[in-house]
């Protein structure tokens, strides 16, 4: 099997350690959880773990069913108490008072009255299960708001895991099969537009650093890193160059064209190219794309109008 090529970004502190000698060979990590945890902690982008969505949903369903059962039992107690009060049996006054006054209800339960004690135990259990259920709902809601790992990061982690096979037992299937699509990333990359993703995925090896991270053992040689700042600068340069090219190219073309039909065709072509570049290379919202395209087209239309007036004069 060919060596796994793991593309990651430098953390901010790594640039300070670039003078580490490349001849130093750190000791390998103990195979198993030590080596896997070392990999996941070696870069913030690699902090990916299982979501356990199906198991979480099942746990919520169990809690929900248990609470429904407790609710049914509580309703049955209420029905029994209502029958006692309505029939005015010997205990109807105590039952009615317990249903209206918490202090009396608690005191009778603490004194060992079977009816009140049974109901108090049920209420406390409802309180406990409701807390567990609501906490689980909130935690799952927060978990669902976390991003999935990018294909690049997911491929890096699962590729290393498949090659090294650090774990045995049931844990050996931690990232296998459908589990690859049940992962969560603890770090959301900033400014992760399509152009940045494209450069990181397909051209990361071009920007890779030649120096090794000081804590990487020899069996991690198939991995390489590239600095996040370099990709950011290249994306900024390409974006500015593309915007300037589309604007200057359109103006230059319109300046030398005289036929109205050709002018309209050039306007349509460059406006379409501008809108397409924004939509494909950025994460701009639709309303932002419309606004930017309208402004771009307005600049070209004004230029054509001024150019026509100059030619008339």
Q: How far apart are the C-alpha atoms of 87 and 91, rounded to whole Å?
A: 10
Instruction: Give CA separation, 148 vs 43, 172, 191, in Å.
Output: 16, 21, 16
Q: How far apart, in whole angstroms, are the C-alpha atoms of residue 224 and residue 211?
A: 9
Q: Of 16 and 213, which is predicted with more confidence?
A: 213
Check whether 5 has a pLDDT greater than 70.
Answer: no
Tokens standing for 198? 């494209």
State residue 81's pLDDT score. Answer: 83
User: Which residues, 6 or more positions from 186, have their beta carbon under 8 angstroms from its beta carbon?
Assistant: 44, 47, 48, 49, 146
Angstrom distance (rounded) from CA 200 to CA 191? 13
Q: What is the pLDDT of residue 273?
A: 93
Cα separation, 288 vs 269, in Å, equals 20
pLDDT at 133: 97
pLDDT at 9 over 80: no
Q: In terms of Cα–Cα distance, which of 210, 217, 223, 229 is closest to 8?
A: 223
What confidence category does residue 97 fall into, taking pLDDT thresholds of 50, 70 and 90?
Answer: confident
The confidence band for 75, taking pLDDT boundaries of 50, 70 and 90, is very high
Which pLDDT belongs to residue 67? 97
Kindly report, residue by residue over 196-233, the tens digit of the pLDDT: 777 777 776 676 665 545 556 666 666 666 777 777 88
Q: Residue 17: is its pLDDT beyond 60?
A: no
- DSSP letters along 263-294, please? HHHHHHHHHHHHHHHHHHHS---HHHHHHHHH
Whole-structure pTM over 0.85, yes or no?
no
Give the tens place of pLDDT for each residue, 227-257.
Answer: 777 778 888 888 889 989 999 999 988 888 8
The answer, yes or no, to whether residue 312 has pLDDT greater than 80, is: no
């Amino acid at each position: 099997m060919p060596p796994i090529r793991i593309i990651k970004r430098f953390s901010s502190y790594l640039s300070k350690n670039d003078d580490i000698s490349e001849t130093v060979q750190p000791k390998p990590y103990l195979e198993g959880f030590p080596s896997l945890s070392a990999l996941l902690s070696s870069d913030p982008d690699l902090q990916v773990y299982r979501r356990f969505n199906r198991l979480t949903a099942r746990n919520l369903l169990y809690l929900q069913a248990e609470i429904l059962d407790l609710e049914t039992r509580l309703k049955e107690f209420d029905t029994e108490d209502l029958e006692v009060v309505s029939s005015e049996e010997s205990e109807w006054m105590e039952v009615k008072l317990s249903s209206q006054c918490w202090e009396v209800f608690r005191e009778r339960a603490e004194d060992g009255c079977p009816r009140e004690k049974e109901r108090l135990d049920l209420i406390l259990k409802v309180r406990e299960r409701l807390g567990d259920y609501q906490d689980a709902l909130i935690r799952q809601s927060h978990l669902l708001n976390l991003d999935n790992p990018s294909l690049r990061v997911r491929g890096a982690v699962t590729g290393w895991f498949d090659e090294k096979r650090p774990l045995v037992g049931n844990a050996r299937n931690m990232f296998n099969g459908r589990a690859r699509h049940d992962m969560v990333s603890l770090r959301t990359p900033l400014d992760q537009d399509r152009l940045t993703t494209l450069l990181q995925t397909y051209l990361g090896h071009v920007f890779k650093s030649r120096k090794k991270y000081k804590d990487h053992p020899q069996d991690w040689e198939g991995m390489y890193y590239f600095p996040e700042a370099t990709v950011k600068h290249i994306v900024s340069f390409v974006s500015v160059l593309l915007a300037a090219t589309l604007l200057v190219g359109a103006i230059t073309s319109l300046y030398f064209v005289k036929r109205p039909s050709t002018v309209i065709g050039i306007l349509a072509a460059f406006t379409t190219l501008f809108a397409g570049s924004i939509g494909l290379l950025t994460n701009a919202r639709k309303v932002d794309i419309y606004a930017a395209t309208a402004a771009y087209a307005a600049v070209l239309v004004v230029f054509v109008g001024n150019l026509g007036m100059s030619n008339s004069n």
